[in-house]
Structure 1
Amino acid sequence: MTQAPAGPSRHFVLAAGGTGGHLTPAFALAQELDRRGHHVALVTDERGAAIPGKPDFLPAHVLPAGRFGKNPLKWFSGAKAVWEGRSMALRLFETFEPTAVIGFGGYPALPALLAARKAEVPSVIHEQNAVLGRVNRLLAGGVKAIATAYPDVARLKDAHREKVHLVGNPVRAGVLALREEEFPPFTQDGLLRVLVTGGSQGARVLSEVVPDGLAMLPPALRSRLQVTQQCRPEDLDAVRARYAGHDIPAELGTYFENMAERLADAHLFIGRAGASTIAELTAVGRPAILVPLPIATDDHQAANTREIVKAGGARSIRQNNFSAKELAKQIGALAKRPDTLATAAHAAWNCGRPDAAKDLADLMESFGGDTIQDVIRVGGNNARGATQGQSVAQGAAKEPAR
């Protein structure tokens, strides 16, 4: 795709907050727009302002963002907060004069998008998951474009499909830089490096099941394990005791700052199926065993796994079926031969959309021009270097469409 012609510097507002899953793609887009010479501002909530990773050049404007849960008694206070946030966003727009506003889903994005509609500023929404979220469903009818991370997105009305641009989910620059590196060699007698994470807060089920599942592997494979696992603080001692009892070397922590380096070294990932996790696994090309969060809204984590599982890059296990025995079975199938993991890694890599930040920036730059630029990426967006993790002969069978 041809990049939008260079023009005068523009102003863009990015609205995201609540969780890292919304902020990470916003930060990546901000860096790309800044690289192109534009001015960018972030509208977020208090939780979003505390999430690490915000670029130094990006000013953050903290707005109130109400939530609308199942308790009707809290709806009034939620609506009042959204209205207050909308008024604050309108005042920001008067001075910042944005060319366009983009929201990344979640209630913290709602005030800024409602303000954009009132001020008649073009707006875009980006959906990181394979199911259109509640706030994005509410806003879909009034925005100029809907950017998606997956070709198929559930809960998207047919009337809105003509607005859809498939761009992918932008990932951190440090992770994206690993895309052209080879899958780490895995030999018949070499180490099997396993990375286990449960999202920003960890996951108790992984702490309970993974150590026992790894212990059930055949002795020849178990003796070659090298595990890195993120745990919740309250689970740390129990997980350490489990690994010690199984005589499996494991590095445990509640948070790893150098996650990109650990992902680069890993042969296998085990964890949840959040949008950012899937985006990073497919950007780098790492095989995975995914356990979707069962209480995720609209079961969106299970939907997130479908593309990578269908391609052969991951196995998905529902949490009610996630037992030590089942985990050992799936790991054994992936690691039974040295080339099996590399083949899965290549399949995951082929699902990646490495130009997500660039394509999303192209879409934002199209506002203020003559037409909305088409950045749809159904196939052929990742053909360069398509033999990652394999020999040319091995990769030929799974070469992406050109």
Structure 2
Amino acid sequence: MSFTKHYVLAAGGTGGHMIPAYALAKELVQRGHRVALITDERGEKIPGMVDDGQVHVLPAGRITKDPRGWLAGARAILKGRMMAMQLYDAFEPSAVVGFGGYPAFPALLAANRKNIPTIIHEQNAVLGRVNRLAARSVNAIATSYPDILKLKPKYEEKVHLVGNPVREEVIALREEPYPPLTEEGIFRVLVTGGSQGATILSDVVPDGLALLPMHLRRRLQVTQQCREQDIERVREKYAEHDIPAELATYLPDLPQRLGWAHLVIGRAGASTIAELTTAGRPAILIPLPIATDDHQTQNVREMVAAGGARSIAQPQFTAKELAKQMQKMALGPEALQNAARFARKCGRPDAVSDLADLVESIGTSPLSKTLKVKEEQSSIIPNPRPALAKETTQ
């Protein structure tokens, strides 16, 4: 006999935090549970929440290095905690799961005050600021990499390696073979710089591809995501180099394009790494140098060590260096195919299932949390937001 429990997920308003939160929400709902999401206004605008899930936008103050903002930040955190406690009184969650980002902090504080079990999930190879603050009091720490920096040794007994949840369409790619690549066949390159593209890729990649030996360059077929302000000049560059290229500011069918790509060039965000390793696609990755705690440089370590990717620091990312690294990776069809296999070995396709198992094991006894739907719960939080549309693509 199964029992329905209630769970609250809390995530900051970036795709890196929201995508795994949405994936867990979907998995928990499929298991018969009810889910509510706490986020900020940015997170509310990112599609993907289950149809019948509640979405609540709560204040989320930041405590920065500037003392002038401390008072306002503290007030917002306390207000968010109070509103989260009101939500918990109505929703009665069995556990609260934080995915990082400042909106998760008041939710976790409220759970501690209410003695509700808590879990944090870290997507990156460096424990984020909010997760560092919460690590002492949570029941479990779910990680995406075997080695996590800025995690105090005394908390290691709480750690569970589950991986970073990805979309079902990407998991499906794991069952498909690496696309055939012969010495005369089309060489498909996918260039993506995260949710908003990356100007550095627009500056470097077209010229780097143009430096490849003719036997590689004449076979190229490029798909590249560009910022809107960059797209026309990038189109002109590819035309000048006589390289076929499809450019767009947004790629709604990214999983499909990842499926037929022979090589990916992009940033080293947690979601990107998770998708590459789940699908098994080799990559040349350029970590974002301004990422907090330089976490993108750490994210790529495992994949590079396994032989599935090469990493180029942004100051060294030139057209000449890109061409050199591409030639090393693509000396022959088997070289890229081997790199794809090495990348796949780093994948953790069961991440969402393993995370849901952990959440269910931490939550309180199902006998004490059977389904309880309160008609008045929407009035507890001022101006509750409706559930977002079902996920299409991110």
Compute the TM-score of the two structures, normalised by the length of structure 1: 0.89
Residue 254 (structure 2) pairs with residue 264 (structure 1): no
Aligned amino acid, residue 248 of structure 1: I
User: 1:150–1:168: 8 Å Cα contact kept in structure 2?
Assistant: yes
User: 1:167–1:356: 8 Å Cα contact kept in structure 2?
Assistant: yes
Aligned amino acid, residue 239 of structure 2: A
Residue 202 (structure 2) pairs with residue 212 (structure 1): no
Name the residue aligned to 1:278: 273
Shift of 1:177: 1.4
CA distance in 1, matches of 2:285, 2:103: 28
Residue 350 (structure 2) pairs with residue 355 (structure 1): yes
Q: How does 1:2-401 map to 2 (within 5 A)?
A: 7-366=2-361, 367-369=363-365
User: 1:274–1:304: 8 Å Cα contact kept in structure 2?
Assistant: yes
CA distance in 1, matches of 2:138, 2:40: 21
Of the two structures, which has the highest relative contact order with CA contacts closer than 8 Å and spacing of 6 or more? 2
Q: Over the residues paired in the alignment, what is the CA RMSD in angstroms?
A: 1.1
User: 1:17–1:49: 8 Å Cα contact kept in structure 2?
Assistant: no
What is the aligned length?
365
User: 2:99–2:121: 8 Å Cα contact kept in structure 1?
Assistant: yes
Aligned amino acid, residue 51 of structure 1: I
Q: Deviations over 1:277-310 (max 9, x none)?
A: 0000001000000000001111100000000000
Shift of 1:7: 3.0
CA distance in 1, matches of 2:262, 2:62: 40
Q: Deviations over 1:212-239 (max 9, x none)?
A: 0000000111011000111111111111
SS, match of residue 233 in structure 1: coil
Q: Deviations over 1:39-66 (max 9, x none)?
A: 1111110000001222222221111112
CA distance in 1, matches of 2:330, 2:102: 42
Q: Deviations over 1:295-338 (max 9, x none)?
A: 11111000000000000000000001101000001111111101
User: 2:10–2:97: 8 Å Cα contact kept in structure 1?
Assistant: yes
Aligned amino acid, residue 327 of structure 1: L
CA distance in 1, matches of 2:79, 2:186: 55
SS, match of residue 142 in structure 1: coil
User: 1:227–1:251: 8 Å Cα contact kept in structure 2?
Assistant: yes
Shift of 1:149: 0.3
Shift of 1:136: 0.4
CA distance in 2, matches of 1:317, 1:232: 21
User: 2:282–2:339: 8 Å Cα contact kept in structure 1?
Assistant: yes
CA distance in 1, matches of 2:122, 2:189: 30
CA distance in 1, matches of 2:14, 2:44: 10
Shift of 1:175: 1.1
In the alignment, structure 1 segments of 5+ residues that lack a partner are 1-5, 371-402
User: 2:11–2:100: 8 Å Cα contact kept in structure 1?
Assistant: yes
Aligned amino acid, residue 259 of structure 1: L
CA distance in 1, matches of 2:185, 2:61: 52
Aligned amino acid, residue 364 of structure 1: V
SS, match of residue 229 in structure 1: strand
Shift of 1:193: 0.5
In the alignment, structure 2 segments of 5+ residues that lack a partner are 367-394
Aligned amino acid, residue 102 of structure 1: V
Aligned amino acid, residue 174 of structure 1: E
Shift of 1:369: 4.4
CA distance in 1, matches of 2:114, 2:272: 35
Q: Deviations over 1:173-222 (max 9, x none)?
A: 11111111101111100011111111111111101000000000001110
User: 2:25–2:49: 8 Å Cα contact kept in structure 1?
Assistant: no
CA distance in 2, matches of 1:67, 1:272: 26
CA distance in 2, matches of 1:61, 1:76: 24
SS, match of residue 331 in structure 2: coil
User: 2:117–2:364: 8 Å Cα contact kept in structure 1?
Assistant: no
CA distance in 2, matches of 1:160, 1:369: 24
Runs of 4+ in 1 over 4 A off after TM superposition: none
CA distance in 2, matches of 1:108, 1:186: 45
Q: Deviations over 1:104-129 (max 9, x none)?
A: 01111111101000111000000000
CA distance in 1, matches of 2:70, 2:205: 40
CA distance in 1, matches of 2:48, 2:323: 35
Aligned amino acid, residue 364 of structure 2: G
Compute the TM-score of the two structures, normalised by the length of structure 2: 0.91
CA distance in 2, matches of 1:194, 1:69: 40
